[in-house]
Structure 1
Amino acid sequence: METVLQFVLGVLIIAVGVAFSIGLHEVGHLLPAKLFGIKVTQYMIGFGPTVFSRVKGETEYGLKAIPLGGYISMIGMFPPRGANERAASNSTGFFQQMVTDARAQSQLTIGLDEDRAFYKKPVWQRMIVMLGGPFMNLVLAMVFFSIVLVGFGTLQPSTTVGSVSACVLPATSERQTCEAGDQESPGAAAGLLPGDRLVSIDGTAITSWEQSTEIIRDSAGDALPVVVERDGEELDLTLTPLLTERYVLDDAGETVTDASGSPVIEEVGFVGMGSAQALTPQPITSVPAFVGDNIVHTIGIVVNLPQRLYDVAEAAFGPGERDPNGPISVVGVGRVAGEIAALDSISLEAKAASLLGLLGSLNVALFVINLVPLTPLDGGHVVAAAWEGIRRFFAKLFKRKDPGPVDAAKLMPLTFAVVILFGGMTALLVYADIVKPVDIFG
């Protein structure tokens, strides 16, 4: 019962975090819009029927039944039809009607506030309004990851022994378990136990696991005096590293190969002990690079989205497993959060750090996706405004007539297609996260 409650708590934490992130995203649009005098008639979190709303000033603030997004309604999103388009107005095609209806609806919102219409504002103001939402998600990602990295830290090798091998197995051995007749590992022979904290090796005070590894690798065959702390007391042990074969690893932890493609092997000192992982606080200067790496990773997922979605569909409707680094829906994020919260094998501190990290990654995803240059995403409106600015710049440069605002209503067919695609993608991911969820714990 306790595990179920922890699972539900994890889901609720993420649900509140998602709503909070969406709400601040829309605040990122709302504040500059009001600052520039654009009339905002609605600020809504979610879609569908309105659950709660309140009118303050000229804006209705509310909550919708389906909390999977949000929006603000600004008057005059599209300019009126130009004179050169009157001939096309007789067209009764589906997409042309869609464009006409969008323009008509936009005009209805303006009323007597023509000067406060979105399309009337300078290009730079419109770009700031549309970039405000993604910018807010970027700020939130920085905040969440700052708390994780600086407040909690990242899992790093500590100076505490996490495991001690019972025997010695060469790197080239196909076996992973010890058998009768195998040589006892130097660590086990010395009496090392999991939980021992390395104080010094051969008279050198140990401040990092890498430091102890360096000494051991260079001391094959030498009897090294070792001081460990066990249950609050210091013990003197003698550790004699054994010369053994190990694969050479690069900085990324990958096995180095020679010209023929064979793994490179070196002879080094070995004792058969592994480090316990511990949360180690990082400097605040590490946050921008960490967020940057997340952004690059998310961009890679978005760029390869068709292939990724195909893989998801193949796993969801077939026997394959989901890629733990692939896309997941909000349902999948909630499920992962619940599983993390219900784990008994990690500390409360590690759970909190993991949930905050999930929210940080979610905001990075919102930042990247909303900058995709397709309407109705923010990036599509930014591109439309930028194109208008470029047209007007060159018209002014060559002393031509002002071409006027870009008619973003013409993008409604594209908007319709993007909405359909995103709807299908969401449905696929939600289905996959229910019937074939990502297994992040292996």
Structure 2
Amino acid sequence: MSSYLLGVILFALGIAVTIALHEAGHMLVARAFGMRVRRYFIGFGPRVASFTRGHTEYGVAAVPFGGFCEIAGMTPNDELTAEEAPHAMVNKPWWQRVAVLSGGVAVNLLLGFCILYGVAVSSGIPNPYADHTATVGEVTCTADQDPATGELEQCSGVGAAGRAGIEVGDRILAVDGRRVENFQRLAAEVAERPGETVELTVERDGQRLEVPVTVDEVTRYSADGQARSAGSVGLVSRPVTDAVRKFGPVEAVPATFALTGQALQATVEGVLQLPAKIPGVVASIFGAERDDESPMSVVGASRIGGELVEHSLWTSFLMLLASLNFFLALFNLVPLPPLDGGHILVVLYEKARDLLRRLRGLPAGEPVNYEKLLPVTYVMAALLMGFGGLVLIADVVNPVRLFG
């Protein structure tokens, strides 16, 4: 078996285990509060194999991309037997229902944290305490890209930044008042502004300066050889010191918490950007260049896992698996049905409504009728399935590749 195929299989297995543990999180919390778990399945569709233990049927279904945990009385529209009624989820306190709905998310967060912790004490993680501020290491000229080699052509003198007075050691904090977290973000900002004048917020010797820079226009080429106009100012970043660091077992705990916080922030930004990435995914199906930060399906992520193992990048493999767990956790918290966040929102709405009714001397209201939410649920399910289908097709015909 090739190392690439091994990586694909291992990452796909990691995804399956992640989903299984997510659903187990719901099941275990439900049982802790005395709720009746009817079924716990990995996969969707026709049953492949199952067995029953106690009141729960455990099984595997034909379509492995997902899973579910069926709890008696998850909604008031769920039919209950007389024996199930005392153990129905809908009849439990609101905070227990929220805890059950959050159980899968909690497991994903814990899994991601544990993976990062293991990497931190074994091989090292991106140092969450490192200073990634865009710091100038060299002031250079600006040059067009050679379409044959992909390298920058020879040039002389200084570029836009040098002419504006930017110096080695300057820390660039913002572009036109918008904070840039690192040099990559700075480069991306100026690349979109060829020929325009931008104002760089620069820290020099403890003082802040506002430096106007007229961005040079240069030529860059896409992977398919198409020329495009881009902006460049002629700066080279100073390498970040201690960018990756190995931690001891004790000091790794706060470091992993810090890195987890950074990863969750980046994941939130990624989730919010998903709708804007749909046109790019569609275009890539018809031959356009696939963005390296394009959303991926299980197939695409597994292929990336295969590439990482093929190049013996096991640390990156594990970091990718941790990122997957963080994405699943936060995506499931989106407050729309059929996601966990949508069900949590319903429970919180009922609690807030009943509190207001109590203040007005009224009894608690009836549980939300989930049948009235079915149109929203169907629309969201169709959108999610459609988006997933598009990404899956893109991952087959034009996959994201890390190495050529």
* CA–CA distance in structure 2, aligned partners of residues 178 and 41 of structure 1: 66
TM-score, normalised via structure 2 length: 0.73
Equivalences, count? 325
Among candidates 110, 114, 117, match of residue 81 of structure 2: 110
Structure 1 CA distance, aligned partners of 2:109 and 2:384?
22
Matched, 1:131 2:102: yes
Establish whether residue 250 from structure 1 lines up as the match of residue 172 from structure 2: yes
Asked if the contact 1:75–1:110 (Cα under 8 Å) also holds between the matched residues in 2, the reply is no
Q: Is the 8 A contact 2:22 2:108 kept in 1?
A: yes
Could you say which residue in structure 1 is the equivalent of 2:328?
Answer: 366
TM-superposed deviation, 1:290? 1.7
Could you tell me which residue of structure 1 aligns to residue 115 of structure 2? 144
Q: CA deviation at 1:302?
A: 2.0
State the 1:155 CA deviation. Answer: 6.5
Q: CA RMSD in A?
A: 3.1
Is residue 46–residue 63 contact of structure 1 (8 Å, CA) maintained in 2? yes
Task: State the Cα distance separating 1:174 from its structure 2 match.
Answer: 4.0
CA distance in 1 between partners of 2:273 and 2:290 (Å): 16
User: What residue identity is the alignment partner of 2:63?
Assistant: I
Separation in structure 2 between the aligned mates of residue 110 and residue 367 of structure 1, nearest angstrom: 33
Superposed, which structure 2 residues align to 1:420-435 within 5 Å?
420-435=382-397
Structure 1 residue 52, shift from structure 2 partner: 2.0
C-alpha offsets along residues 111-170 of structure 1, whole Å, 9 cap, x if unaligned?
4322222211111110000011111100011011112233211468xxxxxxxxxxxx98
Secondary structure at the residue paired with 1:400?
A: coil
2:291 counterpart residue number? 323
Q: Contact between 1:247 and 1:265, CA under 8 Å: does it hold in 2?
A: no
Q: Deviations over 1:162-207 (max 9, x none)?
A: xxxxxxx98227497899xx9xxxxxxxxxxxxxxxxxxxxxxxxx
The amino acid of 1:280's aligned partner reads: R
Counterpart pick for 1:386 among 348, 355, 365: 348
Counterparts in 2 of 1:275 and 1:369: CA distance versus 1, 3 Å: closer
Letter in 1 for 2:23: E
In structure 2, which of residues 287, 298, 301 is the aligned counterpart of residue 333 of structure 1? 301
SS at match of 2:68: strand
Cα distance in 1 for partners of 2:241, 2:74 equals 57
Q: Check 1:383–1:49 CA distance in 2 against 1; reply closer, same or farther (3 A cut).
A: same
| Cα deviations by residue, 1:393-424 (Å, 9 ceiling, x for unpaired) | 11122211221322233212211111111111
Taking the TM superposition and a 5 Å limit, the aligned residue runs for 1:287-366 are 287-318=256-287, 320-343=288-311, 348=312, 351-366=313-328
Q: What CA distance in whole angstroms lies between the structure 2 residues aligned with 1:288 and 1:62? A: 35
Match of 1:98 in 2: none
Q: Secondary structure at the match of 2:57?
A: strand
Contact 2:307–2:403, Cα closer than 8 Å, also in 1: no
Alpha-carbon deviations, 1:30-51, whole Å to 9, x = none?
1111121211110111111222
- Answering whether residue 404 of structure 2 is matched by residue 407 of structure 1, we say no
Identity of aligned residues (%): 35
- Pairwise CA distance, 1:360: 0.2
Distance 1:23 1:379 in 2: 19
TM-score by length of 1: 0.67
Partner of 1:259: 212
Against the structure 1 CA distance between its residues 177 and 425, is the aligned structure 2 distance closer, same or farther, given a 3 Å change threshold?
closer
How much does 1:78 deviate?
2.4
Structure 1 runs not aligned, ≥5 long: 80-102, 157-168, 183-244, 267-272
Q: Which has the larger radius of gyration?
A: 1
1:46 touches 1:67 (CA, 8 Å); kept in 2?
yes
The residue correspondences of 1:18-167 to structure 2 (distance < 5 A) are: 18-79=15-76, 103=77, 106-107=78-79, 109-154=80-125
Q: State the secondary structure of the residue aligned to 1:65.
A: strand
Residue 81 of structure 2 aligns to which amino acid in structure 1? I
Whole-Å separation in 2 of the counterparts to 1:426 and 1:340: 23
Q: Taking structure 1 as reference, are residues 250 and 396 closer, same or farther at Cα in structure 2, changes over 3 Å only?
A: same
Question: Could you say if the C-alpha distance between residues 304 and 173 of structure 1 is closer, same or farther in structure 2, counting changes exceeding 3 Å?
Answer: closer
- With over 3 angstroms needed to count, the CA separation of the structure-2 counterparts of 1:365 and 1:170, relative to structure 1, is closer
1:11 and 2:11 correspond: no
Q: Distance in 2 between matches of 1:274 and 1:327?
A: 29
Equivalent position SS for 1:47? strand
Q: Does the 8 Å contact 2:142/2:233 carry over to 1?
A: no
Q: Which moved more, 1:62-71 or 1:284-293?
A: 284-293
CA distances 1:72-130 after superposition (whole Å, capped 9, x unpaired): 11112222xxxxxxxxxxxxxxxxxxxxxxx3xx21x4343222222111111100000
Distance 1:249 1:118, change over 3 A: same
Cα deviations across residues 345-367 of structure 1 (Å, max 9, x unaligned)?
xxx4xx22111111101001100
The Cα shift of 1:315 comes to: 2.0
* Alpha carbons 1:246, 1:265 under 8 Å: kept: no
Give the C-alpha shift of residue 278 in structure 1.
9.1
Contact 2:116 2:125 in 1 (8 A): no
Q: Distance in 2 between matches of 1:78 and 1:274?
A: 55
Q: Could you say if the C-alpha distance between residues 78 and 276 of structure 1 is closer, same or farther in structure 2, counting changes exceeding 3 Å?
A: closer
SS in 2 for 1:372: coil
Contact kept, 8 Å, 1:15 with 1:334, in 2: the verdict is: yes
